Amino acid sequence: MARKSTKGPKPVKEAPRRVWTNRDGSQGTAFPLSYKDPNNPKGSPIRLQFKTKAERTRERIKIEHKLSQNTYNHEGEIMTLAEFAWAHLASREERGISPGRLAGIETKLRLHILGGDQDTPRGKYLYLGDKILTKLQPSDIDAWVKEIQGKVPPKHLLREGPNGNIGEQHSRSRAKIADVGIELQSLLERACEKQLIFYNPAKGVDFTDATAKHESDLVYAGIHFMDPDEAAAVLNYAKFEMAHIDGGRWYPILATYLYGGLRSGEVRALQVHELNFNDNRINVRHAITAHTSKRGPTKSSAGNRDVPLLPPLYGILKDEWLPIAPRAGGINWRIEQMLKAQPDLTRVSDRAIADALGSHGDDNVRAASWRTRQKLGLKSFRNGPTPSLSAIIPLGLPEDGSGDLRFVFPSETGQVLGHGQIKLRFREIQRALGMIRRDLEGNPILAADGKPLAKYSPHSCRHFYVSYLAHHGFSLEQIGRWVGHETEEMTKHYRHFFEDPERKRRDDEKLQAAFLALDAKVSRNDTKVVEFAHKARAGTPKG
């Protein structure tokens, strides 16, 4: 009598090979595999197909092991890296992560890691987006690094700014690869915590070599930020050559960057009441990220600080800029509100608007009217209807157009100044001064729009501020407090500026004297040296 088997049903079943004929006459082959999801025992079996029998065997062994250890999670077997990444990003948004941080992560995922955005269909990602989580290997990460390093992100993945400009396209440097590689490692670590994968395939990958780490550790004048001569040239150009552009705002803005060391978001969020002219301090308490127009907290708790309001900046802001800065409720904003209050006013002349505002045909008001009409899509006819001044009064706006001054550097309508405008004007100034990037042969490096790439970003002004203070003897700790560095490690990027030149000169002289004394012994053929040499050749012990 045959003995009955005590083994239960196999958790993973291998079905016979499937063979079929495609429409083009070619023959297709697949090796099926099916099993029950332990998390859904009443549901239909999960069915998979593999191109080769060896692949099916490897996957069967892996699934059986996970089922036996009660560590199987079907989501990880079918979820792509892109699906997990966007879901994880949404969960971070729910936990209240700052909009700026979320936008930075989204940019890294879209441009560098996944190769597509949240609307990209499955199978259309350029990089790692379509990789199944459980099948992602270190070799895939290495191949991805080789694929993107030194190349420019695809233009169709870039996002347009408020002015329709997508900005300059830069090739991915080793520092950028290291940055996005750390983000990928962190993302896969979260997948491990959720037991979607059982090891982090990016954990052992070195995204940059020791040389790159050393090079990116320090910042240098003329490479990462302006030297004093370049900074002076930028301020002079903004003061004299751009005095007629945008109401002369660019000289005080760049002076605040260079004389205050503020971040771009802090400059944009700065309000008049935070300028303490009595104590000569700038009270930094808020920031606006590049991706939003809302005031929020600074980058870290150390970002809440009081920055010295230096004498040059004091005069520029208090005496030159604030008296003429655009007000909320100023002329542009008043025109827009007036036209919105009279929706039937579709044909109107700019002169009529100027007369209605009591400006008697002022050219500045007419120019503001033209820009507003373009924005609202309104037509203009010389003999159009005249808007009534009575339409303005119910809006509660000051008839003289004075309004309130909230932001130190507002837009033309008195609202938040766009980050893209600052970057655009800073590039224009650098190009006009010849401060552009060049290749090893001295030829200009061109951006996607055919214009030369500018050498520096607005953030480089902050590097200039730190290095300039260090060069003039201020301590690392004091500078860290003024610029809002959370740790001393951040300020140590500038440690080569903290070297005391006088001490360095004395050390050099002492070192030279020590070795000159040694050289003198050799050159004068000292008898003690000769005796020592004879003893050594004879095998006599020293001393």
Q: Is residue 277 very low, low, confident or very high in pLDDT (cuts 50, 70, 90)? A: very high
Helix (H) or strand (E) holding 82: helix 81-94
Q: Is residue 350 very low, low, confident or very high in pLDDT (cuts 50, 70, 90)? A: confident
Span of 9-13, 58-62, 384-388, 517-521 with lowest mean pLDDT: 384-388
Report whether 288 contacts 303 (CB < 8 A).
no
Give CA 177 to chain center in angstroms. Answer: 13
Span of 112-116, 192-196, 275-279 with lowest mean pLDDT: 192-196
Position 308 pLDDT exceeds 60 = yes
Report whether 103 contacts 92 (CB < 8 A).
no
CA-closest candidate to residue 187, choices 290, 83, 98: 83
Give the SS3 label for residue 271: strand
Average pLDDT value for residue range 490-494? 68
Q: Is residue 542 very low, low, confident or very high in pLDDT (cuts 50, 70, 90)? A: very low
pTM: 0.53
pLDDT reported for residue 428: 94
CA-closest candidate to residue 390, choices 356, 339, 354: 356
Residues 74-127: pLDDT tens digits? 555 678 899 889 988 888 766 666 677 788 888 899 989 999 888 888 888 989
Strand order of the β-sheet with 305-308 is 275-276, 281-284, 305-308
Position 364 pLDDT exceeds 80 = no
pLDDT, greater one: 384 or 277: 277
Residues 135-159: pLDDT tens digits? 787 778 888 888 888 777 777 777 6
Other C-beta atoms lying within 10 Å of the C-beta of residue 232: 12
Helix (H) or strand (E) holding 538: helix 527-538
pLDDT, greater one: 353 or 2: 353
Q: Is residue 307 very low, low, confident or very high in pLDDT (cuts 50, 70, 90)? A: very high
**What residues are paired with 46 via a beta bridge?**
35
Q: What average pLDDT does the structure give for the chain? A: 76
CA-closest candidate to residue 345, choices 366, 323, 376: 376
pLDDT, greater one: 338 or 530: 338
For residue 236, give both structure tokens: 């002079």
pLDDT, greater one: 360 or 353: 353
Q: Spell out the residues 6+ positions from residue 230 whose beta carbon is closer than 8 angstroms to its own.
A: 222, 433, 435
Distance (Å, rounded) from C-alpha 283 to C-alpha 373?
38
Q: Is residue 363 very low, low, confident or very high in pLDDT (cuts 50, 70, 90)? A: low
pLDDT reported for residue 69: 64
Instruction: Give the residue extent of every domain in the chain.
Output: 12-68, 81-217, 219-326+407-496, 331-395, 501-538
Whose tokens are 């740790």? That residue is 487
pLDDT, greater one: 13 or 55: 13
DSSP classification of residue 395? G
Average pLDDT value for residue range 389-394? 52
Average pLDDT value for residue range 15-27? 82
**What residues are paired with 287 via a beta bridge?**
296
Strand 281-284 relative to strand 18-21, pairing:
unpaired
Position 23 pLDDT exceeds 70 = yes
Residues 407-434: pLDDT tens digits? 899 877 677 888 888 999 999 999 999 9
pLDDT, greater one: 68 or 452: 452
Report whether 148 contacts 112 (CB < 8 A).
yes
Q: Do domains 81-217 and 219-326+407-496 have the same CATH topology?
A: no
Span of 191-200, 296-305, 361-370 with lowest mean pLDDT: 361-370
Domain 81-217 CATH assignment equals 1.10.150.130: yes
Average pLDDT value for residue range 443-458? 87
Give me the amino acid identity at 470. Answer: A
Report whether 291 contacts 93 (CB < 8 A).
no
pLDDT reported for residue 164: 44
pLDDT reported for residue 254: 96
Give CA 462 to chain center in angstroms. Answer: 15
Q: Is residue 275 very low, low, confident or very high in pLDDT (cuts 50, 70, 90)? A: very high
Q: Is residue 435 very low, low, confident or very high in pLDDT (cuts 50, 70, 90)? A: very high
Q: Which CATH class is domain 219-326+407-496?
A: mainly alpha
**What residues are paired with 307 via a beta bridge?**
282
Position 21 pLDDT exceeds 50 = yes
Report whether 261 contacts 307 (CB < 8 A).
yes
Percent share of the chain, pLDDT over 90: 17
Q: What is the largest CA-CA distance in the chain?
A: 116
CA-closest candidate to residue 237, choices 109, 429, 397: 429
Beta strands in 253-403 (DSSP E): 275-276, 281-284, 305-308
DSSP classification of residue 242? S
pLDDT reported for residue 71: 58
